[in-house]
Structure 1
């Protein structure tokens, strides 16, 4: 039997506002527990919510970014459930009339194809607090700093069939929201969290199977692994003749397993009803068009431009547009050196390797775009060999900021003077008559191997500074 995975995603994005969605409390991450709270966050009697205008604007920006319909009239509802970190006993969310309606988000796949994902809706809601289980031995503490943080929950149709599709979508979504500036997408801090609804069915069947929800996974690697683990678990259940239980499960990366958390609720369980303390949100066409006009170039547009106008492969263009700082850094380098392919090779090669080794982001490095462009220019004009360029790059990585001074200080200038190179070649030929005769007697295939001896000796004589291309040409002429 061949089983097919069917998956839909719910992604919670923390919106990059300075204050919470219904109160003036700060949303800054990492503060002392319960220091970013006020009477509203704690659900004290008599407090009333006031909607954060900036959260509404960022939701509209997202909707336009994915080409979705904006709800001209949206409303807030109460989602009722009881949990210690939810002081009101309900969450303010949007159920009946969300701010963002249907749309289609085109996701680039590693093979260059486009995978269209149907967005069902995206709605505003407040986050809950956090249960802390290790602060006091044997007890659970509650931190309400996160309670009321503005979230945008993005819900897809069950369009995913593989873990690769899921990860590609999440990476594209992460790129989009950071480009738009509506969320920092920091998964480690919980700014982007994913719930995966997964079921299995036999290939060729149309009916969906019973689904489980994998809750609050906060890394691309864990999401991919959780899908494989849960799919194997469900397959074992189905092939043994048992039924899958609809429930919410947690992924434990240490044990490499999913564990039951609670039975999966349906909408009726939450007893949604309109929140009487909040008026409908009415958005006019003028507001939508004003926000549309202020949108930056989106990743999909930038990716296409890099491929079509700058001559990059689809693969390289996708990698360079995964986040806005990298794309802007690349463009700054490519514009100055007028060599997009070399700029891409450096960004995806030495720069990427150095970032991974240091465990930092590009914005945290000391590397300056104009200096990397100058390095490429010195390679292109013959001043530097590829080997010398690595030394200059290391200096730039360490914070030095003048390519020409680095070259001068370290004596790295490549020897491209024809007269100087001819002198080196002539001395070599005179000093190695046996090798010269061996070269001249060899066929073309062996000559290609033998010339390496002369190149090596010439580079040694020039202390590694001879222009390799010119050196090869001169050696072929003189030896021939």
Structure 2
């Protein structure tokens, strides 16, 4: 029996506000435990929440960026459950009247475009954090994160493979970062993902029993966890067993999912409208004001890069996958890199390889410095080979290309007379190879140019070297 995978993602994006959603406490990460708290976010008796306007604005922006419907009338609800890091005994969230509904984004998997629907987005507060001591049977609670504003983005169950889920997650991450409303840091918990996954026989309309995956702190973990769960559920179904609806944790050390608890449904949370917060009414004027502030988004920028800079779609997709990377590319062009394709090649090979997965913001080489290096190659000041050595020095030291080239005397030799004398000397010293070249073994050109590079310590202009050997060998 063949099975179809059905995946839906629930993304929790921490909104990039300076204060929490219902009080003035700081949202800064890394403070000592329980120092960013107050009676409101601790849920003390008699306190009243006040909604942070910036949270509403950021939610509207994300809705507009995904072609969603902004609900002019929406309200908060209480989501009741009991857990040690939830001081009020309920979470203030949204239920039947969310701020955003019915959007979509396009993803590309195996060169095919697919539209993934977005069911809803709703504002809510985050819970605290439990810290478990492995050395003794104690647990500690840090409530600094309590009340941090979240935007939960719930997809339609439109994804049919872990690869599609990965692509969708990356796209949502990119849009949030382009809008500058979430820093997207998965290690710090400001961008988190829960995945619902089920299998059903091919052709069946009814969904299978789903499990929910949690504790995934990287894009790769999300894909790995989903791949494992597809295999696990498929094996169960083929053996005639049932999939049990449950919440699972991903254990990256063992590369497997582990049971956490039985999966809840909406009625288990006993939602009801929050009596402490009035409903929100959003004017059309406010929506249009925010629409005017939207930046150029990833898909739009990708199209512009292919047209304005004549880049292949593959290059444009990589360069625009992160706003900072796209900004870096355009700033380097403005600083002197005259050939967009050559710059793209350098960024996707030399630059990204040396970054080793780190953000472009941590790069020692500034865009203007890379533009300077590219300009020196174009002018023939240094060869492409020398430029790679210079670039590694730039990455390590942070110095500019011109400074390094001068300090190490790496200027390319383009003196035709000086180089021709060395070329003639090499040809005279290799008569057999010269004769073979004249008889059609043109690949020997590499041998001759290599000899010249050795004698000039890599400083000979490669293009000029080929021209001079062509003259010397062919008369």
Normalised TM-score (structure 2) = 0.96
Secondary structure at 1:337 match in 2: coil
Is the counterpart of residue 453 in structure 1 residue 447 in structure 2? yes
Match of 1:470 among 457, 464, 468: 464
Secondary structure of 1:398's partner?
helix
Provide the rounded CA distance (Å) in 1 between the counterparts of 2:374 and 2:156: 46
Equivalent in the alignment of 2:172: 173
Residues 30-77 of structure 1 show CA distances to partners (whole Å, capped at 9, x for unaligned) of 111111111112211101111011111111111111111111111000
| Equivalent position SS for 2:151 | strand
Q: How many pairs were matched up?
A: 473
CA shift for structure 1 position 13: 0.5
For structure 1, the 5+ residue unaligned runs are none
Q: CA deviation at 1:435?
A: 4.0
Aligned to 2:384: 386
Match of 1:423 in 2: 421
* Range moving further from structure 2, 51-60 or 111-120: 111-120
Q: Note the 1:269-418 alignment, pairs <5 A.
A: 269-335=268-334, 336-356=336-356, 360-418=358-416
Return the alpha-carbon distance in structure 1 between the equivalents of residues 208 and 123 of structure 2: 29
CA 1:456/1:259 → structure 2, altered by over 3 Å: closer, same or farther? closer
| Correspondences of 1:6-17 after superposition (within 5 Å) | 6-17=6-17
Asked if the contact 1:368/1:401 (under 8 Å) is kept, the reply is no
- The alpha-carbon deviation at position 421 of structure 1 amounts to 2.3
The 3-state SS of whatever aligns with 2:70 is coil
Report deviation, 1:237: 1.9
- In structure 1, distance between residues paired with 2:188 and 2:261: 24
Counterparts of 2:151 and 2:399, CA distance in 1: 42
Distance 2:431 2:213 in 1: 74
> Quick check: 130-139 or 212-221, which moved more?
130-139
| 1:108–1:172 contact (8 Å) kept in structure 2 | no
CA distance in 1, matches of 2:281, 2:147: 22
TM-score (normalised: structure 1): 0.95
1:271–1:439 CA distance, 2 compared to 1 (3 A):
closer
Distance 1:450 1:260, change over 3 A: closer
**Structure-2 change in CA distance of 1:437 and 1:300 (3 Å):** closer
Q: How does 1:38-437 map to 2 (within 5 A)?
A: 38-109=38-109, 111-134=110-133, 137-335=136-334, 336-356=336-356, 360-437=358-435
Deviations 1:151-187 (A, max 9, x none): 0000011000000000011111111101111100100
Asked if the contact 1:93–1:126 (Cα under 8 Å) also holds between the matched residues in 2, the reply is yes
- Could you tell me how far 1:337 is from its partner in structure 2? 1.6
CA distance in 2, matches of 1:139, 1:403: 55
3-state secondary structure, aligned to 1:12: strand
Offset, 1:136: 7.6
- Distance 1:465-1:287 versus aligned 2 partners, 3 A rule: same
On the 8 A contact 1:135/1:141 being kept in 2, the answer is no
Label 1:365 to 1:439 Cα distance change in 2 as closer, same or farther (>3 A): closer
* Structure 1 vs Structure 2 CA RMSD: 1.6
SS of residue in 1 equivalent to 2:38: coil
Compared CA separation, residues 471 and 59, structure 1 to 2 (3 A):
same
In structure 1, C-alpha distance between the alignment counterparts of 2:42 and 2:435, rounded to whole Å: 91
Separation in structure 1 between the aligned mates of residue 431 and residue 252 of structure 2, nearest angstrom: 67
| CA distance in structure 2 between the aligned counterparts of 1:237 and 1:429, rounded to whole angstroms | 72
